[in-house]
A and B are shown apart, each in its own frame.
Chain A
């Protein structure tokens, strides 16, 4: 029977946090008015007696601390205190022990090997009293005690019902775990104590948190034990950096993934965007109006990038850093150099190539090379224009369909960010991702064609001269 009592205990929420409901608390107070006083006893006809004193402190630390007095002492209520007659102390104790079995099912008790001998004794007519081992009001965990076959079931005995965990700030959270959510999550085969490390059927430490945020931050640490790779990535990200300087509003694992209803979010692209919106609503609004966001929301298009495609999900870099800015062409080219993907929308993959072979792209590529080779000496003169500097970031609009003149006007403004005195001729210096042709930048095309013909002609002519000269020299000798 021993572990039996324990079973209930564990469910009792650990943290001092479980507040008994008001009525329970009141009931306890009333009972303790008398039972909290030492010295009073219940006498038995044989002269034996038992103290009626209940150590309130021990009860508070017991696994039953959240139970009402009348949960076990069922014959008693606030109004009714029957005077019960027992032949002796043993009879009293046996009677009280029966109450344990109201909650701790016999099968569960029997499943523990340690109880086997006790059941045999009971069958032989010997009385078995739970409190002999587990004590009564101070019932605590026993190391090596009962472990539920299904930990989940075990924990849910308490955590299936609505209870609150109260923080010092006065905030509270429900400790209720919805089984359906848990079973629908990728963690359905993970035991409660696998995540709630330190909690088991034997242990349920009482924890104190200043605020709900503190509690949630602490809970996120749980994830690290299994998802160390993601945790490490996140530790290099901007959110973790914010946390480390005391900006506690920065999100941690559970803020994005949820707790028991955990989700990898990976497949639900809309949900990811919505998650980010929680904090980044301004960006969200701009994104929603962009060519990418529009396709996501209107058509549920799975090809368009969502927040995490560009910013990554865990190791999110500070987008204001040059290191982030300089990798933007790589980010955009993940899709825009994919011929199959771009083909679906009639977009050219030349955009990446033309950027990379032009002044900005070449310079940026060399800057990156320099940075890789000698990061300590890397001091670029100026930032290089990347995709977003001309096309915009979250509010990227489709280029096709927009009027050429309107585009040029916008482009000039963008050019002037770096080239301050640029005039309206200036944007034409950029061939707008087009390859030179007779219709597009004919001057450039003609120059290139001229040299394409001239260069080989000259080289062949010169080599011809050289070989003839050598040949004549050899013949003359």
Chain B
């Protein structure tokens, strides 16, 4: 374990490498661009959406930005999948993001704790079930958005191989999944890393790379941030 003394009382652990910090920052930037340019199209009838669209130079520009951000997001997702695939295949680290039975048990235990049926909150692994849930929703949802996004971007090419109905279906998936991811971010991720009483006003670990050692977290791997 790599500990770092930041004060007498609080222990800090190295949680994220610079690579992960940068990856997260890029993801935030792309997420904001995709959400702004995407949701303003989804809710095009709202005044604020129209203001955004006009401020960005019209719906053609908005779509252009969305496509460009989408391409970067695709690149980000691909490198993430390849990098982690190699980590797992070549056993360079532990697959700490894989969902295990313990995650389900942890979630149930915590609900019991919140309801007052258990004395202590659960001791999670390196990443809690909440963090894993968000991670996989973003990753799988992201892949889904990439596929449907490209179908929508190139409908003529897509219908060379797919039935025509896949285009409106892809649109339904793309627009709903986007909303789902957005709500997940807005409700849970933002709460969990900003407004949650334990971390308020901000859990800085993803920006600094260091995390407070919290009672519900038992760090067990070597904290190289590659997990």
Whether, in the assembled complex, A299 has its beta carbon less than 8 Å from a beta carbon of chain B, the answer is: no
Partner of B168 from A425, A427, A436, A466 at Cβ < 8 Å: A436
Q: Which residue of A lies closest to B155 (CB)?
A: A429
Partner of A454 from B53, B160, B180 at Cβ < 8 Å: B180
List A contacts of B215 (CB < 8 A). Answer: none
Flag if A366 contacts B159 (CB, 8 Å): no
- Chain A, residues 448-476, CB within 8 Å of chain B (1/0): the string is 10010011001100110110111111010
Given contacts A362-B44, A429-B155, A443-B165, contact A473 B197 (CB under 8 A): yes
- Chain B, residues 72-97, CB within 8 Å of chain A (1/0): the string is 00000000000000000000000000
Give the distance in Å from the alpha carbon of A235 to the alpha carbon of B33 in the complex: 47
List B contacts of A468 (CB < 8 A). Answer: 111, 114-115
Given contacts A370-B59, A436-B168, contact A465 B53 (CB under 8 A): no
Partner of A451 from B41, B163, B176 at Cβ < 8 Å: B176
Partner of A374 from B54, B111, B167, B173 at Cβ < 8 Å: B54
Q: Which residue of B lies closest to A371 (CB)?
A: B58
Flag if A369 contacts B165 (CB, 8 Å): no
Partner of B176 from A420, A447, A475 at Cβ < 8 Å: A447
List A contacts of B172 (CB < 8 A). Answer: 436, 444, 447-448, 451
Interface size on A, residues (CB 8 A): 49
Whether, in the assembled complex, A258 has its beta carbon less than 8 Å from a beta carbon of chain B, the answer is: no
Flag if B165 contacts A444 (CB, 8 Å): yes
Give the distance in Å from the alpha carbon of A369 to the alpha carbon of B48 in the complex: 13
Say whether chain B's binding surface is mostly helix, strand, loop, or mixed: helix
Give the distance in Å from the alpha carbon of A247 to the alpha carbon of B197 in the complex: 79
List A contacts of B150 (CB < 8 A). Answer: none
Flag if B57 contacts A423 (CB, 8 Å): no
Flag if A365 contacts B44 (CB, 8 Å): yes
Flag if B60 contacts A458 (CB, 8 Å): no
Give the distance in Å from the alpha carbon of A436 to the alpha carbon of B171 in the complex: 13
List A contacts of B115 (CB < 8 A). Answer: 468
Stretch at the interface among B11-19, B98-106, B181-189, B201-209: B181-189
Whether, in the assembled complex, B113 has its beta carbon less than 8 Å from a beta carbon of chain A, the answer is: yes
Flag if A458 contacts B44 (CB, 8 Å): no
Say whether chain A's binding surface is mostly helix, strand, loop, or mixed: helix
- Chain A, residues 361-382, CB within 8 Å of chain B (1/0): the string is 0110111011001100111110
Flag if B176 contacts A471 (CB, 8 Å): no
Give the distance in Å from the alpha carbon of A377 to the alpha carbon of B56 in the complex: 12
Given contacts A363-B59, A366-B44, A468-B114, contact A421 B180 (CB under 8 A): no
Given contacts A448-B176, A472-B113, contact A459 B164 (CB under 8 A): no
Flag if B58 contacts A370 (CB, 8 Å): yes
Given contacts A422-B156, A444-B168, A472-B113, contact A455 B183 (CB under 8 A): yes
Whether, in the assembled complex, B166 has its beta carbon less than 8 Å from a beta carbon of chain A, the answer is: yes
Q: Which residue of A lies closest to B45 (CB)?
A: A365
Report B169-227 residues with CB < 8 Å from chain A CB.
169, 171-173, 176-177, 179-180, 183-184, 187-188, 191, 196-198
Question: Which residues of A does B touch, CB under 8 Å?
Answer: 359, 362-363, 365-367, 369-370, 373-374, 377-381, 419-423, 425-431, 436, 441, 443-444, 447-448, 451, 454-455, 458-459, 462-463, 465-466, 468-473, 475
Question: Which residues of B does A touch, CB under 8 Å?
Answer: 41, 44, 50, 53-54, 57-60, 111, 113-116, 130, 155-157, 159-160, 162-169, 171-173, 176-177, 179-180, 183-184, 187-188, 191, 196-198
A-B CB contact pairs (8 Å), 21 listed: A367-B59, A370-B59, A374-B54, A422-B159, A425-B162, A426-B155, A426-B164, A428-B163, A429-B164, A429-B165, A443-B169, A447-B172, A447-B176, A448-B176, A451-B176, A451-B177, A455-B180, A458-B184, A459-B187, A468-B111, A469-B196
